[in-house]
Chains A and B, each alone.
Chain A
Amino acid sequence: MNEPLISFRGVGKTFQADDKDVEAVRDIDLDVARGEFVTLVGPSGCGKSTLLNMTAGLLAPTTGTVRYNGRAVDGVNRHTGYMTQNDHLLPWRTVAANIQVPLEIQGRSRAEMRDKIQALMELVGLLGFEKSYPAQLSGGMRKRVALARLLAYDPETLLLDEPFAALDAQLRLNMQIELLGLSRRLNKSVLFVTHDLDEAAALGDRCVVFTARPGRIRAILASPLPRERDLMRLRHDGQYVRLAAELWDMITPTLAATRGETA
């Protein structure tokens, strides 16, 4: 394998919250190759979002380094596009105008913007809602607008934090198919956080499983599935079923542990 696109070396992050320190992640070593789709799973609060934040350069690690394309990430990493857990749409802009923001920043022409927005609205299944304001949309629709906005500026690497959490099963499958197809077609690298283990197994080239906080890598499971896969038919794929089961077996003990902690 040639040089990784993203590499975490001994990465740890401790937050100073008021009087007590919160260690979010510890000793993370992880390489992500160009064009690779990596899914991240682990109990709530184990630092998955924190890892994405460090990849995007929004947070600096307390220990270790995060490298992108061989260079230590220092400040905003513009090669990445980030769809955060909160959708962060601009409430004063309509759906179309929200998707238009990155295009305006890039200084595209009106016609170009119109065509691109049209294509993206179609992709995320929101045709007819161009003129709606975010406050008038459902949670799932807002997520889709955020995804369309992310795709509008076409970043090299996609950081997705539970992007499909609020969608119904059919829509989620549709979006998964679109995302996977698109990332393969354009050879995008993807870091994809999800709580849905089936989703993690279905999409990932590799699935990274984290322990409860402080999050450490518990296991990295390489997917036996081919890069091009038919998500529609996965249910009947023995390899997929085994991978998903393996993830379940791994997560359930940590789940019990976190429940014990909060009880």
Chain B
Amino acid sequence: MNRRRALAGRRFRLQLYRLGMAFIFIAAWQAASGPLIPEFFISKPSAILASLRAQVATGNLFFHIGITASEAFVGFALGALAGVAAGVLLGRIHFLADLLQPFILAFYSLPKIALAPLFILWIGIGMTMKIVLTGTVVFFLVFLNTFTGVRTVSKELEAILHLMGASERHVLTKVVLPSAVTWVFAGLRISVPYALIGAIVGELIASNKGLGFVLANASGQFDTAGVFAALLVIMMLAFALNALVRFAEIRLMPWKTSGAQLDREITI
């Protein structure tokens, strides 16, 4: 019990230091803006806050957040679903994987963002294009992770299940899929920032709504505070998406969190 209290104390102190650091940073920013560095470049916290408040007041901000969040979320979900399906399929069917390997590698090494202009040609500049872009980015990350997960299932374990009388379906549902889940989540977690990249780059290239648009618009009007405000909101959105994945992870993998791993704090 004593050790636990010591641990809690240490964590509390850590939080305190973090808060202190953030406060000092913001204060220094506020003080330096103007006297040391022109406000045009770095704006200042109070101005950013004012910009945020103004946008919240008109209700515009929530509209744009909603657009970007739905693009990122739908693209993320579709890409992840397709990625898991393809990963399981190619993970289990070795011939197919061997056959497709060079093509997959070729596509993988292509920066997916570079496909945006092509997608615009195909499906225009609406939300669908951002969803497809996000989905493509997420697909590859989740696919590769799922594939690896399926491939790392122990052959001996599979054999033991076959000895129990398991069919291929049993092996898939009782061993392969559950053991790939850890990998799938690893893929999902690294995909979150990329999902936002997909949505926002899509909006930056061609859009009149969404946070990418807000960002580009503020920048176009030399409104530094507006740019920082948009960045702040994007950061919070990423945070929320991360928390969502983390929540699903805890719910779906109770065996992961029932041990000592609970007090792991930093997740990327």
Contact = CB atoms under 8 A, between A and B. Distances in A.
A135 B255 contact: yes
Interface stretch (A87-95, A119-127, A209-217): A87-95
A136 B163 contact: no
Interface residues of B, number: 23
A88 B178 CA distance: 14
Contact of B164 (A86, A91, A105): A105
A92 B165 contact: no
A92 B253 contact: yes
Given A135-B255, A136-B259, A92 B181 contact: yes
DSSP class of B's interface residues: helix, strand, loop or mixed?
A: helix
A60 interface: no
A58 B162 CA distance: 10
A84 B255 contact: no
Given A76-B159, A105-B165, A92 B259 contact: no
A106 interface: yes
Contacts of A80: 163
B160 to A, nearest CB: 6
B165 A78 contact: yes
Contacts of B181: 92
Nearest to A132: B258
A92 B166 contact: no
Contacts of B156: 58, 84, 86, 88
Contacts of B259: 133, 135-136
Given A88-B157, A92-B178, A104-B174, A76 B255 contact: no
A90 B181 CA distance: 13
A92 B160 contact: no
| Among A82, A88, A155: residue with most chain B CB under 10 A | A88
Interface residues of A, number: 25
Contact of A133 (B162, B170, B255): B255
A153 B165 contact: yes
Given A86-B156, A92-B253, A78 B175 contact: no
Interface in A56-108: 56, 58, 76-78, 80-82, 84, 86, 88, 90-93, 101-102, 104-106
A144 B159 CA distance: 20
Contacts, number: 63
Interface in A101-117: 101-102, 104-106
A115 to B, nearest CB: 19
Interface string B247-268: 0000001110011000000000
A82 B164 CA distance: 9
A232 B258 CA distance: 39
Contacts of A56: 159, 163
A256 B205 CA distance: 75
Contacts of B152: none
Given A133-B255, A133-B259, A136-B258, A90 B164 contact: no
Given A105-B170, A135-B259, A76 B178 contact: no
Q: Which 9 A-B pairs have the closest CB atoms?
A: A102-B164, A76-B162, A133-B255, A92-B255, A58-B159, A88-B157, A92-B178, A105-B166, A153-B164
Interface of A: 56, 58, 76-78, 80-82, 84, 86, 88, 90-93, 101-102, 104-106, 133, 135-136, 153, 155
